Amino acid sequence: MAETDREAEVRARRDRVGGVLRALREIVVEHGHIDRADEHVVADEFNLSRAEVRGIVSFYHDLKTRPQPGVQVRVCQAEACQSVGARELTARVETHLGVKLGEADETVSLDPVYCLGLCAQAPSMMVNGRPVARADLCDLAEELPV
Ligand code: FES
């Protein structure tokens, strides 16, 4: 049987530093999410059971298993950000976007993140991969591409 494109992609990643986790992360970056067929390919290439790969995928929140909306917002919930108003910021962002933390609709997702490395400039959030330091709702309105 001929090798599929996805099998070739995963095979090329098999012997690199980072192993299975890096391969799964790169599938998300390149294809937006990991589907069941991807899990099977990764299991075969890394000589793991499908249950092991499923366990990894389900453990890491960033390993998305469904297509993601065009706007992805993450608000830091870790201690330094909490100490300067992350919970209040989160509540305002939820109201502004119309989705609760950890939820998504067709256009936007709102997820927690636990430290973006911007603790000295907290509270912090990320909009479509772009970090926002000393975030407030005005920043979100400016950052949102919708
Ligand atoms: S605790 Fe929020 S960026 Fe570090």
Give the distance (Å) from ligand 1 centre to CA of residue 115.
Answer: 4
Question: Of residues 138 and 119, which shows the higher confidence score?
Answer: 119
Beta bridge pairs of residue 111: 74
pLDDT at residue 114, rounded to an integer: 94
Kind of pairing, strands 125-127 and 108-113?
unpaired
Q: For 49-76, what is each residue's pLDDT tens digit? A: 999 999 999 999 889 998 888 899 999 9
Question: Of residues 7 and 73, which shows the higher confidence score?
Answer: 73
- Let me know how long the chain is: 146
> The CATH number of 71-143 is which of 1.10.10.60, 3.50.50.60, 3.40.1280.10, 3.40.30.10?
3.40.30.10
Ligand 1 atom nearest to 81, measured from its CA: 2
Token readout for 34 is 């990991």
SS3 state of residue 48: coil
Is the pLDDT confidence value at 15 over 90?
A: no
Q: For 87-99, what is each residue's pLDDT tens digit? A: 999 999 999 999 9
Domain ranges of the chain: 5-59, 71-143
> Is 77's C-beta closer than 6 angstroms to any atom of ligand 1?
no
> Is 124's C-beta closer than 6 angstroms to any atom of ligand 1?
yes
Residue 110's closest CA among 83, 137, 79? 137
Question: What percent of the chain is modeled with pLDDT above 90?
Answer: 64
Token readout for 16 is 């690199």
